[in-house]
Chains A and B, each alone.
Chain A
Amino acid sequence: MGVRAAFTLVGVAALTACHDGLQGELGNGWFEYQCVNDTDTFCSDRGTGFRSRRADFPEFVGVGGRFRMDYEPPLFGSAGQVRTASSERIARRDDHFIVVSAGHGGLFARERSGQVLDVVHLDCRAVANVGVERDGEVRGSVELALGFAASVRVLPVTSNDEVLAGAFSYSFTVDDPDRLTVRSHDGPRVRLVGDAPGRTRLHVNLSGQEFTLEVDVVDRQAPEPTGDSGASQTPATQEPDAQLPITDDDASFAEADEDGGA
């Protein structure tokens, strides 16, 4: 009898313990944040590839960011559809949600009969700026060696430099095309080439919101991959095959170079 009870307990524990996501505020199920595509910094892991699902939950989601939300009921529980509390905060679009304004946005799982099963809230923050991550910090400027190409991943951040989740569309332009060239971009990853020394600005259009990133093109004989640029740099004439060694510190940007750029 004791053995049977133990097996039953283990079985129930195994069935109920392994849930991804965040448990709802009523404890009736689990909410799972899912990324719409690899432009969402939360799922791309900033360098280890895209995963649409993650076991954890984003701390902040940016205004304009898109995401999906799934609800997993407990064992023998009722399945529910995820609805948004207010379309003024988080709106529903076809198969995903989009953050409309800053503030806490409630999402709830609703049964077919209309009963609310569980609730979760997302902290929605306005995108204050864009930056690049370097040594665990987000910086608002990039340093680029003259004649070299660098792959940079742009991150949407709050006014406190907290990285925001959510999928965005990205486009890039520069103030001075003679000084800096945008060779290519794939979502938030942009490949820049320093053409002339000096400072210029990279304009980032993030789902319709305009931000700028300062770029310094410096005249250096030898590139310094561990410099402040936050990017691995390769000679513009040698890419993409002849890449410079990347230190461990640059791992967060290694994947950007692997996609080849130009």
Chain B
Amino acid sequence: MEYLKSLKLLQIFHKGESIAEMSISGNQKAIMMKEKLNADFTRKGVFTGLFSGFTWGLNSVLLGLALSMIPVMGENVAIFAIPLAAACINDSFAGLWLLLYNSGAGRLKEVLRSLKTFPGQMVCVAALLGGPIANGGYLLGISLAGSAYALTITALYPIVGALLSRIFLKQQIVPRVWAGMMLSVVGAIVISYVPPEGVNSETFYLGLLFASLAALGWGAEAVLAVFGMSMIDPKVAINIRQLTSGLFLAIFILPIVGGWVIVSQVFTLPGTLGAFAIVGLAGAISYLAWYKANTTIGVAKGMALNGTYVMWGVIFSVVFLKSPLTQNLVIGSLLVVIGATLVAINPKEFFKKGDVT
């Protein structure tokens, strides 16, 4: 009986945190209250991660709608300038929405303070990887290969993130996580196995390449950002990220691809501008949730839950845009989701904190 009592007490504690390490100055009730607080915090992080996937799926579909409101301007413009201009407008609007949000919450000073520190500057580097490189690649991928395929390839970014977090954050990855990730890969292959009819295959594969670049950029972004957010507020970090990305695209990338023509077009059409503002709001909410989830529940779990945007994107497309729901899309999306879930369950069993050198 005494043994069972001890066992029950043991189960109350977090795994990996032995009683020997605990200096218990309060009573058992206090310990249980703390455990509940931490468990609720983690659960909230899981829902935040899922919410980030949901809103990113919504952002993708809304962005597609907003893009369709831009007048036809020739094939070359459509392939490069429009997606990159869209990435710029998306991130800039998101950055402005977040600036309003942080200003209202009295965190405006935090933005400048954070930029003066090394972790804040690392968030800027993360912004360049996740913004111009990943978002640009993502939109070019959609433009060249079609959204169903590009969305799925880019959903593989948790694998990249897990690999990078293993290398740079020394996080351990156990077989079950690999199994979950492989399931996601298989899901992606199921979706992208047959190119859609009538698509130029050269353009199609170039699109897949850009989508892969997006996966690489986002994975690297998440690892760098989580490092930075150990010491700075995630709500401030994501603001820095969106503004850095939007500004970099506007100043250095758009002039090269002729993207400013698109931006000025958008600004002359109030309806289209409004649509992009709403898309940017969805993007701001999604990224805010993603950064918060990543820092609360860890890189791999946050990314895997965010990766469910593939499923949400397909659901939104089918429901709102009446897109055809093919068998491959259904099975593939399901596999991606099951894989992401496998990765997400009980992260403490999967990602033990290792020695960081």
| Pairing of A with B | no
Binding site for B on A (CB under 8 A): none
